[in-house]
Amino acid sequence: MTDTAFAIADSLKPHVADWLGHLKTARRLSPKTLGAYASDLDTLMAFLGTHLGGPVTLGALGALRAGDFRAFMAARRQQGVGARTLARQLSAIRNFFAFLEREDLVRTEALSIIRGPKLPKSLPKPLTPVQAKKALALTGEMEASPWIAARDTAVLTLCYGAGLRISEALGLSRADLEGETVRVIGKGGRVRLVPLIAPIRMAIAAYLELCPFAVSAGEPMFRGARGGVLSPRLIQKRVEHLRSALGLPPSATPHALRHSFATHLLGRGGDLRTIQELLGHASLSSTQIYTHIDSEHLLDIYRKAHPRA
């Protein structure tokens, strides 16, 4: 493939920059996600530079046909790219072309007839209630420093007890705590209020009392050993140690605690719409996956217990 810098014509580069700016300001994508979108477009442009035999212009993009996109997908497959990665790249490419169309720069129907790769069906792998409770209990016993032990316990309790993503938990400030609820800013900048049950409030209070650093009400309250904002990698490493100590499966991660929160609520009769609100899902279809998990659990019990199973 050609170098991306030479694959894109100078006349096209400002429009790429405008698209990325739109994703950053209007869509409020995180830097990591924004970088992935840019990388995915770079991959297409590098391919087209070779495929078309010259720098890619707006005119060249408008002249693309379905066969050109299929050739790109085939080339990525030959390079060993998996279905999920290819689907993500195709999603970013569709987004870029949709932006160009809204700006009346390019119109093409080729992408509308392209079908993405078939993705393997995978379900979240939650912990059992016993595993989740043991993990939270052991967290405080694995660290010699009392305040760090309290910190890690509070973060993981937020993931399991309130269903927060690790990034959401680490982004919380004391100003976000509102009595028995917490104000959470989720994906896409969506704001939701999540109830804090007593064990979560107690875990947070214990951490704040022991934390040796003075943190203003509007700053992220979870801090690293030197006072900086806590890195998610440190919490991931804590869970890795818990996996080893408790014999948990590799799927046991901080995010698995969020899956456990939703699955255990549903198993105890929780309403799907309510769980959607608590998790901050934009679409109910994202939450419905937990009904499949609960069904699989019931079937597993049935198979093990029924004499004719």
Residues 6+ apart with CB under 8 A from 43: 76, 89
Range 25-58 burial, b when 16+ CB lie within 10 A, else e: eeeebeeeebeebbebbbbbbbbbbebbeebbee
290 is a catalytic site residue? yes
Chain segment 83-121, per-residue pLDDT in tens:
888 888 999 999 999 999 999 998 888 888 888 777 666
Exactly one of 76, 223, 264, 281 is catalytic; name it.
281
Is 115 catalytic? The answer is no
Active-site annotation holds for 297 = no
Q: For the chain, which residues make up each domain, given as ranges?
A: 4-113, 129-305
Is there a catalytic annotation at residue 255?
A: yes
| Euclidean distance between CA atoms 77 and 220, whole angstroms | 42
Q: Contact at 8 Å (CB) between 222 and 230?
A: yes
Mean pLDDT of the chain: 86
Both structure tokens of 51: 């495929």
* Active-site hit among 151, 258, 259, 264: 258
Query: Which one of 15, 165, 238, 259 is the catalytic residue?
Result: 165
CB neighbour class for 143 (10 Å; exposed up to 12, middle 13-18, buried from 19): middle
Establish whether 302 is a catalytic residue. Answer: no
Annotation says 165 is catalytic? yes
The predicted-structure confidence for 251-286, as pLDDT tens digits, reads as follows 888 988 988 888 888 777 777 788 888 888 777 776
The superfamily (CATH) of domain 129-305 is Intergrase catalytic core (1.10.443.10)
User: What is the Rg, in whole angstroms, of the alpha carbon atoms belonging to the chain?
Assistant: 23
Q: Which of 132, 189, 122 is nearest to 162 (CA)?
A: 132
In whole angstroms, what is the distance from residue 142 CA to residue 151 CA? 12
pLDDT in tens, 137-185: 999 888 889 999 999 999 999 999 999 999 999 999 999 998 899 999 8
Catalytic residue among 37, 160, 207, 290: 290
Q: Global pTM?
A: 0.60
* Buried b / exposed e along 283-300 (16+ C-beta atoms within 10 A): eeeebebbeebbeeeeee
- Per-residue pLDDT at 299 exceeds 60: no
Structural fold of domain 4-113: DNA polymerase; domain 1 (1.10.150)
Residue from 187, 192, 201, 243 carrying the catalytic annotation: 187
